[in-house]
Every structure is written in structure tokens, then in C-alpha cells.
Homo-oligomer: A and B are copies of this chain.
């Protein structure tokens, strides 16, 4: 499709074309610097490069085509929103722009300055009219995973069609009941918005598609941890990011193809970096596109990231939905069980996360962990203390980083990360 046809599409979405052009230019440059400079990349990454180059183009065109066919677009900001249900009503679910400083000044007129960068970003993208995903949505699903999002959605909801899911804060029987009622309320809402019913057949298909995506990511997460490391941490982060945007079936196929190539590389004992390169886990807050700052600094400091313990990482793919259900009721229960396994810092206690981090550190044989919190993210900054303690008990060193989307602290972060890498080398 030509650039002018895209422009027309963006205009129809009521984007601020000049501001959006500026964003794409920065994004392209940033991607080039961080991704295209890498050596020895797998052929399968060309697919990801293409997806990223068309992230506001071809993929949006697909969404528009889907809308023309009567499908609805459902936007989300969180792994608690079951894509299975959106697929079961023949809708397309996409993650929304939240990974770059955009419209921050405008955002700060409706949410406090001491709000995390991710929240200010999605508010800013909306106010600046530069996220074609947000503007394509027929419905945006928020959730109560943190105070910042919970309250920001009230302001966001005045600008966009929203539905809020309440995520419980503990994992007792009564929380499971609340969560099930919220999953059912979402089902009703999706049926209302799409005019289509969730059936046993459509839900079974939705569950299979999303599980297959998770299986591909699980396969990737296992393979990436080989020694020597066959793929850069940046590339795997990108794949996890794209898993929220791309068509799930096409994505799964592409990642499985990539995994075949990784297996070939492993068989030849080839790595993207020397075998003795310090291996790190990134743990903590999600990194939405194009938030590649920290992995770029880490992998420029002589280390390699071999595990992502985050929502845009293992937290989103670790658990499958049980596929044995036959009725809608049974499958809804299976969905509820699976989503209540998420070890988000919104829960208290959240000991599962400590267990999962310990296990992941062991499985992937990391030399250290970098815990990443968005500044002002209370759930993850609090849990960083617990993670550090847990890892220390297992003789895994940890560095706690708090940052945002600005580039002001890059030099300072480099210094700290280089010192950490040196320490664990």
C-alpha cells in the first residue's frame, strides 16, 4: 500500500498527521539504531522487522479491513484481559500504544506528574492523537491492576469507549468468585459490542489460538536460554511485544519458524555472543513498544538478556488454559483458573512470583537479575525488595533500576549496569 493511502487511512482515524509523522520518524531511527545494527541475526527476525516497519501501516490497514467486514477492535493495556473471549466473538484484540513519551505535557493536565511513564504515555498518545490502534478501537478494556491505571482510566474513559474489569487483590475463594463474575461481565460486554455470541465452538477455537501462541513463546523462551545464547534479548523482547499486536495465527507460525532456525543454530553450537558472556534476567514492569532502552544498554554493556520476567515476557506465556472443557461454562472456568495464576504484583501476598523467579533463574542459568521498575510504579518498586531478598538467598545478585521513558538517565544507567556486569563477570 502506498504512503498516500496510509495517510488517508490515518486521516480517517483522525490522527494528528504531522505529530504522527514525527513519531514514525523517531521510531524508525530508534529501531534502526537498536535493532538493525545487530550482527548475526536470525533470518526469521526479518518477519519482526517487517511487522515493526508496518506497525502503523499494514497492520492498521488489516484492522480497517476487519472493521469493514463487521469485526470489532478491542484494545487493552494488560495481560489480564482474556484474548480468548475477544476471538470467541470474532473480534481483534490489540495492545495499545504505551511505550514512548508522547503528549506527556497534555497528559499531565489530567493525571498527576507522579504517575508512571506507561500511564502518562497511553493518556498522552490519546490526547496527541498519534496511536492508530487506540483510534481504531470499538472498545478499550481497562483493569484495576494498580492505583495509577485504575484512576487514570477514569480520565481516559472520558475520551474513549471503556469497560473496566476488576482484578481482585488476593487469591482466596471469594476472589475467584469475583474474578469469574468479571470475566462473565466482560463476555456480556463483548457480546453486546460485537452482536455475536460466545459459543462452545468459538471459545474452544479462541482458547486453542491463544494457547498455541503461548506454546510458541514458551518454546522460544526455552531455546533462547541455550548456551551460547542463540538470539539477543532485544530480539526476544521485540517478539513478546509484537505478540500483543499481530494476528495471533500468523504470529505463532512465524515464531515457530524462527524457533526452527534457533534449533539449527543451537545444533551447530552457534551463539549471538561468546559463550562466556554474562547472562542476565530482566524482571519487573512490562516494556511496551518502543521501550527498548534498558535491554539496549544492557546488551551494549557486555551482557546478554536471556530471560524476561515481565508481562511482556514469561508472565504472559507461562500458563496455558486447560483445553479439556466442552461447554462454555467449563471453558470460562478454565479461563478464570488460568488468569488467576498470573503472578502480578497487584496481588498480596504474591509469593508465586518469588517462586517463579527463583525457578526461572535456575532454569536459564543467569548470572544476575536486573529488576526494572517504572518510576512511581508502586506494586513493582515495593516487590523489588522482596525479589532481591529471594534472589540473594539463592546467591543470584540483583540490581534494582527505577526509570522512565526519557533518555536523560541513559549515561547514569550505563555506568550502573556496566559496574553490575563487571561485578558478576
Contact = CB atoms under 8 A, between A and B. Distances in A.
A175 interface: yes
B174 A181 contact: yes
Interface stretch (A71-79, A106-114, A308-316): A106-114
Contacts of A382: 111-112, 115, 147-148, 151-152, 154-155
A205 interface: no
Contacts of A383: 151
A55 interface: no
Given A154-B349, A348-B150, A169 B166 contact: yes
Interface stretch (A41-49, A228-236, A373-381, A415-423): A373-381
B379 A147 contact: yes
A376 B385 CA distance: 18
A347 to B, nearest CB: 9
A170 interface: yes
A144 interface: yes
A146 interface: yes
Contacts of A376: 114, 376, 378
Interface centre among A148, A166, A175, A378 (most CB of B within 10 A): A378
Interface string A314-352: 000000000000000000000000000000011011000
A424 interface: no
A386 interface: yes
Given A151-B378, A166-B170, A385 B175 contact: no
A376 B181 CA distance: 32
B375 A114 contact: yes
A155 B385 contact: yes
Contact of A385 (B111, B153, B349, B378): B111
Interface in A159-176: 164, 166, 168-170, 172, 174-175
Contacts of A349: 154
A181 B408 CA distance: 48
A384 B346 CA distance: 23
Contacts of A402: 112, 114
Interface in A350-382: 375-376, 378-379, 381-382
Contacts of A110: 385
A178 interface: yes
A260 interface: no
23 contacts: A111-B385, A112-B402, A114-B114, A114-B402, A115-B382, A144-B170, A147-B148, A148-B378, A150-B169, A150-B348, A151-B379, A151-B383, A154-B349, A154-B386, A166-B174, A168-B178, A174-B177, A174-B181, A174-B182, A175-B178, A177-B177, A178-B178, A376-B376
Interface of A: 110-112, 114-115, 144, 146-148, 150-155, 164, 166, 168-170, 172, 174-175, 177-178, 181-182, 345-346, 348-349, 375-376, 378-379, 381-386, 402
